[in-house]
Amino acid sequence: MFHGKKIVVVMPAYNAARTIERTYAEIPLDIVDEVVVTDDASRDETVDIARRLGLRTLVHEQNRGYGGNQKTCYAEALRLGADVVVMLHPDYQYSPKLISAMVGLITDGPFDVVLGSRVLGGRARRGGMPLYKYVSNRALTAAQNLLCGAKLSEYHTGYRAFSRQVLTALPLLENSDDFVFDNQMLAQILYRDFEIGEISCPAAYFDEASSINFRRSVTYGLGVLGVSVQYFLQRQGWASFPIFSPNGRRLVPAGAS
């Protein structure tokens, strides 16, 4: 518990056997009540290691994609009664030591969502982010800020903390099961006017850290821009999309606790 709030860390895992134990070892268990691993049909020993560590482990028999895996993560965290949920990749790319700070910015205010930004403080390149990824990150973020009327330092971090209110309010089941899920979620958060904070986060790039190839990166970039255009059109009242619908499908049905 942290200031009377239940804290759950969720780790959407796929072939993370080489890094999951190292990631778990740095989670501040003095404030975290539960760590949940959702395995997306890994082909390595991720599940065996997670269970050996005593972690609550849910396994997809078939691969559902990065977005589909997050849906399972958040649904389980809400079922466990989480007040704050931190999504941490088990590939050790992001430092678990920032969990306490991220949680505090939600439990004590003023934010509903906190993002671990690799760009704040100029840490991305120092951490080994490839130049083409850095340039594309900055270009996409600039376009997204323009279309969404926001001022985030980046939209593409995989290190995020959410209040329970956010996860129960958003129609997350309307979102993609692929990588663009992250950006759909941020667009939904902005559309609902939740408060977003950012914290500077060192990130490491190495062979074991997860990454998507160039072709999928291009597909992702186009999908991200598509989401931002949808947001702009929705805000202007020129179109309507299911991901922004107040009646969209939620992880927790409307009226449920």
* Domain count of the fold of the chain: 1
- Confirm whether 138 is domain-assigned: no
Tens of pLDDT, residues 158-205:
999 999 999 999 999 999 999 999 999 999 999 999 999 999 998 776
Amino acid at 251: L
- Confirm whether 92 is domain-assigned: yes
- Confirm whether 247 is domain-assigned: no
Percent of the chain scoring above 70 in pLDDT: 92
- Confirm whether 97 is domain-assigned: yes
- Confirm whether 254 is domain-assigned: no
Within a 10 A sphere around the Cβ of 28, how many other Cβ atoms? 16
Domain of 34 in residue numbering reads as 7-130+151-210
Is residue 257's pLDDT more than 70? no
Q: How far apart are CA 101 and CA 149, in angstroms?
A: 27
- Confirm whether 166 is domain-assigned: yes
- Confirm whether 230 is domain-assigned: no
Q: Across residues 205-234, what is the average pLDDT?
A: 82
Q: Is the pTM of this model over 0.85?
A: yes
- Confirm whether 139 is domain-assigned: no
> In CATH, what number is assigned to the domain containing residue 189?
3.90.550.10
Question: Could you give the C-alpha distances from 153 to 140, 143, 226, in angstroms and in order?
Answer: 11, 12, 19
